[in-house]
Amino acid sequence: MPELPEVETIRRDLVRLVVGRAVVAVDVGWPGSLKDVGPDFTARLIGARFSGFARRAKILIAELDSGDRLLVHLKMSGRLTVVPAGTPPDKHTRVTFELDSREELRFIDMRKFGYIKLVPVGAPAVLPELDRLGPEPLAPDFTAADWLDLVAAKGNSKRNVKAVLLDQTFIAGLGNIYVDEILHAAGIHPERPFADVSADEAARIYPEMRRILLDAIVGRGTTFDLYVDGEGRRGEYLERLAVYGRQGKSCRRCGSVIEKIRVAGRGTHFCPECQGG
């Protein structure tokens, strides 16, 4: 389940492996992966050269020298990997971009939740997928004061704190794994109503959020299930997780048994001692 650190890891891999490469062919094995794409999808990509890869929240933005862009959302099970041409096909390969380097950029997505959307050159500058997103937690100009302003603006929400942190329009890029990790590090129970979170507690979230996301990027992401980086390697942050997937095990900080409950429709892991019962 790629979240901000996993998508950022893939982005960096693709900058290294794919920028400068031209598309020589496109094979669409499952058209359902393509979103708002016309019949000219394949034709307008062939001959175009990848010029850069950006990221906004969990969305990867491939930039082509034609001015076209591809928005890629991996959702639950999506993968983007670069393999030598002729590598035996993965069962769940949905779209393959053959490159002029005798390599292939493959979009693999077992659960078919992910998508690739073509944004043609000259399209309106405001894109609905990106426009509604909240701030990037790791942006250099996103300060602790900005975070507290954000919290204050949402301060009367009756939703629990986990649901708010998962809300991409509030803060962008967090998903189920890292929200559990951040709330544990900040010592806040995931079911607490957001409106009841004190200013001190809210202030604790900011540094923990930044530290955990940065550490996870350094570790090349978390492979819990299907995630791999641009070269097909697993992320190393799994072994550093404090609570996610550790139900029944002892808390690394206090030794209490980690619990798993359901919050905001998501499996939610927390320490009853560190996070206040």
Partner DNA sequence: AAGAAGTCCTGGGCGC
Partner DNA sequence: TGCGCCCAGGACTTCT
Q: Residues interacting with DNA, by CB under 7 A?
A: 1, 3, 32, 57-59, 73, 75-77, 91-92, 110-113, 129, 132, 157-160, 163, 166, 168, 175-177, 262, 264-267
Q: How far is CA 42 from CA 37, 70, 92, 104, in A?
A: 10, 12, 20, 15
Judged by CB, which is closer to DNA: 6, or 63?
Answer: 6
88 Cβ partners below 8 Å, 6+ apart? Answer: none
Least distance to DNA, CB of residue 196, Å: 12
Residues 221 and 11 sit within 8 Å (Cβ to Cβ):
no
Distance CA 244, CA 221 (A): 14
- Could you confirm whether 8 is annotated as catalytic? no
Residues 22 and 99 sit within 8 Å (Cβ to Cβ):
yes
- Could you confirm whether 266 is annotated as catalytic? yes
Distance CA 18, CA 129 (A): 24
Least distance to DNA, CB of residue 166, Å: 6
Least distance to DNA, CB of residue 226, Å: 9
Judged by CB, which is closer to DNA: 54, or 113?
Answer: 113
Judged by CB, which is closer to DNA: 45, or 95?
Answer: 95
Least distance to DNA, CB of residue 222, Å: 11
Catalytic residue among 2, 5, 137, 190: 2
Q: How far is CA 227 from CA 74, 140, 185, 244, 251, in A?
A: 10, 27, 24, 15, 25
Least distance to DNA, CB of residue 46, Å: 28
At which residue do the structure tokens 């996870």 appear? 216
Distance CA 96, CA 7 (A): 19
Catalytic residue among 192, 266, 272, 273: 266
Tokens (6 digits) for 35: 């979103």
Judged by CB, which is closer to DNA: 96, or 176?
Answer: 176
- Could you confirm whether 2 is annotated as catalytic? yes
Catalytic residue among 11, 58, 204, 246: 58
- Could you confirm whether 3 is annotated as catalytic? yes
44 Cβ partners below 8 Å, 6+ apart? Answer: 66, 68, 118, 120
Judged by CB, which is closer to DNA: 73, or 184?
Answer: 73
Please name the helix (run of DSSP H) or strand (run of DSSP E) that holds residue 107, with its range, or none. Answer: strand 103-109
Query: Strand pairing partners for 60?
Result: 55, 72
* Catalytically annotated residues: 2-3, 58, 266
